[in-house]
Amino acid sequence: MKDELFRAIEKLEPQMVSLLSDLVEIPAISPLGGGSGEYRKARFLSQKLEEMGFGKPEIYNSQDPGAEEGVRPNLIVRIPGKTSKRLWIVSHIDVVPEGDRSLWDTDPFKAVVKDRRVYGRGSNDNCQELVSSLYAVAALKENDLQPEYEICLCFVADEEVGSAHGIQYLIKQGLFSPDDLVIVPDGGNEEGDFIEIAEKSICWIEFTVEGKQVHASRPHLGSNACRAANELSCSLDVALHNAFPDKDEIFDPAGSTFEPTRRNANVPNVNTVPGRDVFCFDCRVLPNIPLEEVLKVVDAEIRKVQDRRNVNVNYEFLQREQAPAPTPPDSPVVEILREAIRNVYGLEPHVGGVGGGTCAKYFRDEGIPAVVWCQESDVAHMPNEYAEIDHMINEAKVFALMMLKKN
């Protein structure tokens, strides 16, 4: 049965490549990124699902006045199983902007198939997995195989900028249950043997230092916001790492990270002492550390700099997400995925955590064990992004075996 199923998936490769190419050529960029949203891609995908015999998908529109037609659409396709237990495979249809087009060898929104790769924005992140999950079901249908579970393919909006109109919106509709098996195929490695069960908390902070601008030849008349910002950045770096030295080997890197990142331009000329300076920190914190404790250290360092340099410091959160508890490594969805990976790759998979965030976090917040897995090249968000066709085929085989496996 397995060999026949795998052959069926391999024969579907031309259709898979064709659909992936079509999806690449429909930009689906958030209004926050200068785009119009996912409406056109969702409409195309809905038509394709009907053509493939899946019927009309359920459509859950989150209202967004800045998007085309004023909505951010989420699609769900359900395939009945032998039992009522549900297996969700959640991929996203939105993509990030192309960035600097001069760095692309081809048009980012014109798919190019070359050397068993499909090039184009969104090919890797996340249309590869959308296609592989869909054609896993198509292969089961072609072989008259009924899945063990009700299969719920979920194609969501807004993953790239916070999921407010995507998974967070769907969770509020009461669609999910703690008994569900959930896989988010939006992170992995080249080998396909890594299962993500945990994420660090994320805290992006933008600091604004206000001093007094003066001529650089008479600095004593002002308060140099640049100097104060430099001191604060360095003191935060040291204080945060000293305060939170904990390690958890499930993550790579094992500790919390506190990185100074973006620095805004202050004054355009050399001979002016800046009166305002803005910089950012990207903090990825182990789940057992409350972000409130991190902010206590931040506030203490700010007070020191304010007193020492006669400046005022304010900050705002560009993102703040406390990580939930990890998915248990022995949970049913992990075990089913482990066995499918063994059967497809002949490898022993390992579980671990990551510093980045995926929408699996929102499932874990609700007490729903979720895993993140795919086989992917590390080219997401980069110029000349591509999907490996062989990876897509392998993923479809893994998903198909998961669909058939009894818990």
- Residue 128 pLDDT > 70, yes or no? yes
Q: Is 55 left (phi over 0), alpha (psi -120 to 50) or beta?
A: left
Distances (CA, A) of 152 to 65, 120, 396: 28, 27, 15
Q: Which CATH number fits domain 2-199+324-404: 3.40.50.1370, 3.40.630.10, 3.40.50.720, 3.20.20.70?
A: 3.40.630.10
| DSSP-derived 3-state class of residue 110 | coil
Q: Is the pLDDT of residue 406 over 70?
A: no
Q: What is the pLDDT of residue 350?
A: 95
**Catalytic-labelled residue, pool 94, 125, 196, 277:** 94
pLDDT value of residue 405: 85
- Helix (H) / strand (E) element for 198: namely strand 194-199
What is the number of alpha carbons within 13 Å of residue 377 lying toward its C-beta? 20
pLDDT for residue 1: 82
Average pLDDT over residues 26-45: 97
Please tell me the predicted confidence (pLDDT) of residue 357: 77
Instruction: Share the mean pLDDT of the chain.
Output: 96
pLDDT of 200 above 60: yes
Phi, psi torsion values for 259, nearest 5 degrees: -115, 120
Query: Could you read off the pLDDT of 201-217 as tens digits, one per residue?
Result: 999 999 999 999 999 99
pLDDT at residue 27 is higher than 80:
yes
Active site annotation includes 395: no
Tell me phi and psi for residue 171, to 5 degrees: -60, -40
Q: Which two tokens stand for residue 275?
A: 């009166």
Q: What is the pLDDT of residue 358?
A: 84
Is 58 labeled as catalytic in the residue annotation? no
Whether domain 201-321 has CATH 3.30.70.360:
yes
What's the pLDDT score for residue 94? 98
Give the pLDDT mean for 348-370.
92
User: Would the pLDDT of 64 be above 90?
Assistant: yes
Q: Where are the domains of the chain?
A: 2-199+324-404, 201-321
Q: Worst-scoring range by mean pLDDT, 59-63, 104-108, 110-114, 321-325?
A: 321-325
CA-atom Rg of the chain in angstroms: 24
Considering 159, 180, 196, 388, which one is annotated as catalytic? Answer: 159
Which pLDDT band holds residue 282 (cuts at 50, 70, 90)?
very high
pLDDT at 55 over 70: yes
- Distance, CA of 261 to CA of 9 (rounded, Å): 44
Is the per-residue pLDDT at 407 higher than 70? no
| Largest pairwise CA distance in the chain | 83
